[in-house]
Structure 1
Amino acid sequence: MRVAIVTVGDELLAGDTVNTNAAWLCTELTERGVSVERVTTLPDRVADIARVVNEYHAEYDAVIVTGGLGPTHDDLTMEGVAAAFGREVEESEAALAWLTEQGGYAAGDLAEGTTHLPAGARMLPNDEGVAPGAVVESVYVLPGVPAEMKAMFARVADEFAGEPTYSETVATPEPESTLLDRIAGVQEAFDVTVGSYPGEHVRLKVTATDPETARSAADWLSERVEVLEE
C-alpha cells in the first residue's frame, strides 16, 4: 500500500509549529507495512490543497491530509479537498448527529461551518475535539491538533495495511563515505534495504520482510564494520 501525507498550515511553513503529525503518521504507517512515498506541506490555500490532493489521489492508494479543520477563517482543508473532487461542502447530518447526541452539544451552540464536509464524504468523529474529519474516496482528512489527529487515525488505522517489515540497526563511528562497499555488500548478500544516517555516529538501518533476514544482515554488517560500543 502506497500512501502520501499532506499537512496543511501556514504555521508549519513559517516554522511557528513543528510538524510532528507527519513524523508520527510516517512511523505508524511504516509499522503497518505501508510505504509512505510523499510528505508535502501546503499553505492554507484552497487551490493548492485541491491541486495536490487531486494529483496524489490519482497516484497513491491513499492520501492522508491533516490540519485546518473547523469553522475559522484559515480552516480551508475541507474546502480544498472538496474542490479536488469537484464537490460542494455541505452540512453533514452524520456530523451534526454525532456532536449533538454523543458530543453533548446543542445544534445552536456549534459555530457555523463546524459540521460542513465535502458532499458524500464519510464522517469521522473527533473524540478529542469538535471538528469532525472525513473520508472522500481514498482521501482521509484529519485534524491538525496532534491529540485529535491521533485519536481519529485510530478509528481508521485498520484501513491501512501492507506487508510487515522488520528492522535492525548497527551503529558505527566510521565515516559514512567509507561504508559504501559494505552497504553494497549487505544488499547483495541479503534481500534488504539499507538506510545510512550520519550524526554523532552513523546508524545503518537494515530492513527486510522477515525478522531472520534483518537480523542476519545486521550480523553480517557487525562483522565487517567497526561497531560503536554501547
Structure 2
Amino acid sequence: MFSPARASARLVASPNPDDAPSASAQPLSWIIASPSRGRLHSSIVESPGAMPKTAGIILVGNEILSGKIADANAAYLCRELRALGVDVRRIAVIPDEIELIAREVAAFSRDHDVVFTSGGVGPTHDDVTIEGVARAMDVKVVRHPLLVSILERHFRDRLNDSHLKMAAMPEGAELVGGETVRFPTILMRNVYILPGVPEIFRQKFEAIRERFRDQPIHLSNVFVAIGEGTLADYLNGLLADFPLLLLGSYPEFSNPEYKVKVTLESRDRSYLEGALAEFLRRLPADALVRVT
C-alpha cells in the first residue's frame, strides 16, 4: 500500500569491484506475502487522500535458495521502507536465471509502484540480473560510457572484460544516487537494481532513500502480561471501534517480563492516539507492562 518519489542524481567516483554473489540451485520462487511471526488482526487501510505507495523486493541468488547465504537485505529494506511510509507487498527469492528474473521483474514492475532487486550484478558468469531486467523491459543490454570510465579509473591497467561487465545496463536506464557512494544505482523505469553484498546494498539505498518518502506510519508498542487467548477479545473489540487500525499481536514465550507485544499502527497520528488510549483503558490494570 505505498510508493516512491522521483528525483535524479549525478554520478561520482569509483565502484565496488567484487560485487558478485551467486552459486547454483533449482528453479524456485519463494513468495512472502504475510508476517513470518505473530498475527496481524487487520489489513492496513490508507488514510483519506492519496493511496499509499507499494514496493516489491526480488532477491536473486542460488546461494540464498541453497542455504549457503542467509539474506540480510530484505529485512533491512522492509524496515527502511516502512519508516518512509512505503508498503512492501511482496518478496520473491529466485535463482540466477535470466528468464525467471525477467518474468518476476515484469510482474513486480506491473504490480508495484517501485521494485528493488538484490544480487546478481557483479563480474562473474552467474551475475545475470541486468540481462533479466533488460529482457523484462524488452530492451537491449548496453555498456554505459560513464560506468566504463569509473571502472577504468578504479582498475587502471588491471581492467578486464569481467570488470567491464559491471558497466552494463538495460538500454534507457538511468544512473541515480551517485553523489555519496562509489558506484551509482541503475534505475530501469520503476526497478532499482542493487547489489547483493549487504554493506554495499545499504550504502546504495541510503543514497536514494529520500526518493521513497511517503506519508509516514505511526507506531505504538504495548507489552502485556496476559496471553493471546485472553487478549484476543480486547483486540477484536478495539478493531470493531477502530476499523482503520493496523493491529499486530506477537507472543513471547521466553521473556519473563511480558507475554505478548501488541503493535498499533496508523498513518493518522490522532487516530492512533485515540485507539491507544481506548486500548489502555480497556486492559486490566495488572495486564499492562509498558508502552513504547
TM-score, length-scaled by structure 2: 0.71
Q: Answer whether contact 2:151 2:159 (CA < 8 A) is retained.
A: no
Among candidates 122, 128, 136, match of residue 188 of structure 2: 136
TM-score, length-scaled by structure 1: 0.88
User: SS of the residue aligned with 1:164?
Assistant: coil
Q: 1:59 deviation in Å? A: 0.9
One-letter amino acid of the structure 1 residue matched with residue 264 of structure 2:
V
Q: Answer whether contact 1:96 1:107 (CA < 8 A) is retained.
A: no
Q: Answer whether contact 1:170 1:205 (CA < 8 A) is retained.
A: yes
The equivalent residue for 2:29 is none
Q: Answer whether contact 2:180 2:207 (CA < 8 A) is retained.
A: no
Quick one: structure 1 residues 70 and 107, their matched pair in 2 at CA, closer, same or farther if it must change by over 3 Å?
farther
- How far, CA to CA, are the matches of 1:158 and 1:107 in structure 2? 37
1:194 and 2:225 correspond:
no
Q: Answer whether contact 2:57 2:116 (CA < 8 A) is retained.
A: yes
Unaligned 5+ runs, structure 1: none
User: Where does 1:144-223 land on structure 2 (aligned, <5 Å)?
Assistant: 144-190=196-242, 191-200=244-253, 201-223=259-281
Q: Answer whether contact 1:9 1:44 (CA < 8 A) is retained.
A: yes
- How far, CA to CA, are the matches of 2:95 and 2:103 in structure 1? 12
- How far, CA to CA, are the matches of 1:7 and 1:126 in structure 2? 25
Total equivalences in the alignment: 227
Quick one: structure 1 residues 53 and 16, their matched pair in 2 at CA, closer, same or farther if it must change by over 3 Å?
same
The equivalent residue for 2:155 is 105
One-letter amino acid of the structure 2 residue matched with residue 227 of structure 1:
L
The equivalent residue for 2:60 is 8
Bigger CA drift: 83-92 or 175-184? 175-184
RCO higher in 1 or 2 (8 Å CA, sep ≥ 6)?
2
Quick one: structure 1 residues 14 and 222, their matched pair in 2 at CA, closer, same or farther if it must change by over 3 Å?
farther
Alignment deviations for residues 10-61 of structure 1 (CA, whole Å, 9 cap, x no partner): 1111222222100000000010111110011111111111101101111111
Unaligned 5+ runs, structure 2: 1-52, 254-258
Quick one: structure 1 residues 218 and 107, their matched pair in 2 at CA, closer, same or farther if it must change by over 3 Å?
farther
User: SS of the residue aligned with 1:68?
Assistant: coil
1:62 and 2:120 correspond:
no
Q: Answer whether contact 1:4 1:38 (CA < 8 A) is retained.
A: yes
RMSD (Å) for aligned C-alpha atoms:
2.3
